[in-house]
Structures are given as C-alpha cells and as structure tokens.
C-alpha cells in the first residue's frame, strides 16, 4: 500500500535529507517550513526524480496556536489520508543564548523548539492514535546536561523530550510510536562556523537511521550511537572537571 510522510523542517539540513531519503523509498511527502519557495523547488525535484506525490504546506512554528496547529494537521491528513509517518526536525538556536544577554529571544526559542512542535504533535496524535504510525522528533545532545552556551536551547529541547515521552506513555497501548532522537552535531546550516569538540555527522546518515528505525518502539535514542556512552561520561563527570569544559 502507498505510504506518506509529513516532514516539518524540510527546507534545510536534516529535514531536507529526510525528504530526499523518504521519497527514494517511494513514499509520498508533505513538506513544511517557512521557506515556501525552497520547498516548492524541492517538491518539483522529488516528483520528477521519484514519481511520488510531493506537496508543500508552509508553516511557521513561531506563530502557531493549538487552533492553527490543528488546522495545519487537518490540512495535511486531508491532502494525504494515507499518511502514517511524521518527522519533526525543525529547530532554531540563537547566537545570544549564552546567559549574558537579556533573554529576549527566549519566547521565540521556546515557541519554535517546544510549544509549536508540541501543538502539532498533539494534533497528529488525534489522527494517528489507532494506526501503526510514527511521530519522530529531533532533540539534541545539548539536553544531556545544562552548560553555559545554548542555555535556553537545551531547556527547550528537554521540555520537548518530556512532552513527547509523556505522550509516548499515554499512547503506550496504541499502535502509534512516538520516538525522540537526541542528535549529535550534524553538518548543516545550524552548526556552520562553530568550533565543535566532537565528530560531526552527515545529515543523510542520520536520516537513514531515522527511517530504518521507524517501526521500532524506541523511546529516547542517540544518533549517531557513539553519543550514548559519551552522554554517560558528560552526565556523570564531576562538576570540578565539567565546569572547565568549553563546548
Ligand atoms: N546541526 C546540528 O549540529 C544539530 C545538533 C543537535 C541537534 N540538532 C537538531 O536537529 C534538528 C535539525 O537541525 P538542522 O541541523 O537540520 O538545522 P537547519 O539546517 O537549520 O534546519 C532547520 C529547519 O527548521 C526550520 N524552521 C526554523 N524555524 C522555523 C519556524 N519558525 N517554523 C517552521 N520551521 C522552522 C527551517 O526552515 P525555515 O527556515 O524555512 O522555516 C529548517 O527547515 C533541529 O531540531 C536541531 O535543533 C542539530
């Protein structure tokens, strides 16, 4: 049977890599983000290359409410009722997020990275709770342990993780799978120009892992997997050492 996927954040980085990889499997896609023109070009490319249905529904998570999120999700499922895969990769950082400036960026960061995504996720659950389907969210290794850079970013990601994992528990008896990935550094616009202490993964590689695992009832997973032992080290590193790390 023909399958379909919604990808939020498809205009760039991991979301774009996912759209290409999902289309490659013959799955129809609905792609969302703010950059409509970018998405239309990508949709045309996917239609021609993979002979699939590729649609664009623009979305701004920064202005979303529960009502507009429901409208957006209804629109997606009306366009592609056979949709059983949802990937939400959208996310932002802010250069001022270092704890030293006024936190004017905080509402937008929380809205885009956590609240807007949670509204969409909740609305998707209403459509998918009785289907064998996946809702897959991207968190970050920044959520492992709070540190002096990307302070609000890591707070928004840990809040998102708890929203998703709480819903996973709520829908534990349903065939719906809610998955959360703590992604490590990836070679995308988000990390461009940054000095990074650990290896950087190609978004195509991360996309492959997400698609391969979509049928699994996984909770919180690290991608790439080497971040799991590293997360234990970072989490339990004594404070007097951790406070000296700059990353
Ligand atoms: N790159 C890394 O090193 C890294 C590490 C850990 C975790 N992550 C996480 O991985 C995910 C993917 O990141 P990436 O590296 O692929 O970043 P990216 O290349 O910057 O892509 C971010 C995506 O989010 C969308 N987006 C941003 N603001 C939005 C808004 N208000 N409404 C709707 N969509 C919005 C962007 O589209 P528009 O601008 O067109 O709206 C874009 O498609 C993010 O959640 C990020 O936090 C990344």
Given a cut of 80, is residue 246 above it in pLDDT? no
247 within some domain: no
Q: Dmax over Cα atoms in the chain, in whole Å?
A: 57
* 79 C-beta closer than 6 A to ligand 1: no
Ligand 1 mean position to 173 CA, how many Å?
31
- Ligand 1 atom closest to Cα of 93? 47
Dihedral of the CA atoms 5, 9, 14, 20 (nearest 10)?
A: 40
Whole-number pLDDT of residue 223: 98
Give residue 102's pLDDT band: very low, low, confident or very high (50, 70, 90). Answer: confident
Q: Comparing 215 with 101, which gets the higher pLDDT?
A: 215
Residue 48 pLDDT more than 90? yes
User: How far away, in angstroms, is 199 Cα from ligand 1 center?
Assistant: 19
Distance CA(19)–CA(3), nearest Å, equals 13
User: Mean pLDDT over all residues of the chain?
Assistant: 96
Q: Is residue 166 part of a domain?
A: yes
pLDDT of amino acid 194 = 79
More confident call, 101 vs 146: 146
Q: Which atom of ligand 1 is nearest to the CA of 200?
A: 3
Of all residues in the chain, what percent carry a pLDDT higher than 70?
100
Per-residue pLDDT band for 191 (boundaries 50, 70, 90) equals: confident
Residue 53 near ligand 1, beta carbon < 6 Å: no
* CB of 224 closer than 6 angstroms to any ligand 1 atom: no
Query: Relative to the CA of 39, which ligand 1 atom is closest?
Result: 40
pLDDT band of residue 198 (cuts 50, 70, 90) is confident
Q: Is 196 in the pocket of ligand 1 (CB under 6 A)?
A: no
Report how many domains make up the chain: 1
Question: For residue 140, is it within any domain?
Answer: yes
pLDDT at position 99: 76
Cα 36 to averaged position of ligand 1 atoms, centre (Å): 15
SS3 letters across the chain: CCCEEEEECCCCHHHHHHHHHHHHCCCEEEEECCCHHHHHHHHHHHHHHHCCCEEECCCCHHHCCHHHHHHHHHHHHHHCCCEEEEEECCCCCCCCCCCCCCCCCHHHHHHHHHHHHHHHHHHHHHHHCCCCCEEEEEEEHHHCCCCCCCHHHHHHHHHHHHHHHHHHHHCCCCCCEEEEEEECCECCHHHCCCCCCCCCECHHHHHHHHHHCCCCCCCEEEECCCHHHHHHHHHHCCHHHHCCCCC
Asked if residue 38 is part of any domain, the answer here is yes
Q: What is the C-alpha to C-alpha distance for residues 191 and 187, in angstroms, rounded to an integer?
A: 7
Q: Is residue 109 part of a domain?
A: yes
Domain hosting residue 92, numbered range? 4-242
The answer to whether the CB of 39 is under 6 A from ligand 1 is no
- CATH number of the domain within which 154 lies: 3.40.50.720
Is the CB–ligand 1 distance for residue 189 below 6 Å?
A: yes
pTM (two decimals): 0.97
pLDDT digits (tens, 9 = 90+) for 103-146: 889 999 999 999 999 999 999 999 999 999 999 999 999 999 99
Listed in sequence order, the residues at least 6 apart from 145 whose beta carbon sits closer than 8 Å to its beta carbon are 234, 235, 242
Residue 63 lies in a domain: yes
- For ligand 1, the distance from its centroid to the CA atom of residue 218, given in whole angstroms, is 22
211 lines ligand 1 (CB under 6 A): no
């Amino acid at each position: 049977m023909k399958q379909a996927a919604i990808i939020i954040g498809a205009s760039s980085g991991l979301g774009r890599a996912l759209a290409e990889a999902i289309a490659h499997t013959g799955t129809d896609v609905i792609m969302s983000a703010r950059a409509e023109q970018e998405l239309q070009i990508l949709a045309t490319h996917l239609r021609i290359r993979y002979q699939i249905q590729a649609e664009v529904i623009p979305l701004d998570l920064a202005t979303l409410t529960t009502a507009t999120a429901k409208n957006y999700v209804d629109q997606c499922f009306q366009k592609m009722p056979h949709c059983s895969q949802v990937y939400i990769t959208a996310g932002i950082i802010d250069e001022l997020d270092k704890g030293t400036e006024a936190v004017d960026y905080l509402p937008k960061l929380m809205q885009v990275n956590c609240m807007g995504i949670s509204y969409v996720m909740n609305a998707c659950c209403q459509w998918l709770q009785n289907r064998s389907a996946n809702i897959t969210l991207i968190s970050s290794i920044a959520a492992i342990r709070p540190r002096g850079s990307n302070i609000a970013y890591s707070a928004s990601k840990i809040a998102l993780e708890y929203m998703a994992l709480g819903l996973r528990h709520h829908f534990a008896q349903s065939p719906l799978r809610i998955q959360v990935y703590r992604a490590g550094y990836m070679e995308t616009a988000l990390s461009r120009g940054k000095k990074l202490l650990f290896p950087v993964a190609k978004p195509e590689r991360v996309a492959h892992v997400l698609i391969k695992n979509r049928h699994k009832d996984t909770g919180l997973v690290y991608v790439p997997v080497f971040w799991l032992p590293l997360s234990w080290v970072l989490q339990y590193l004594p404070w007097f050492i951790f406070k000296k790390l700059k990353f």
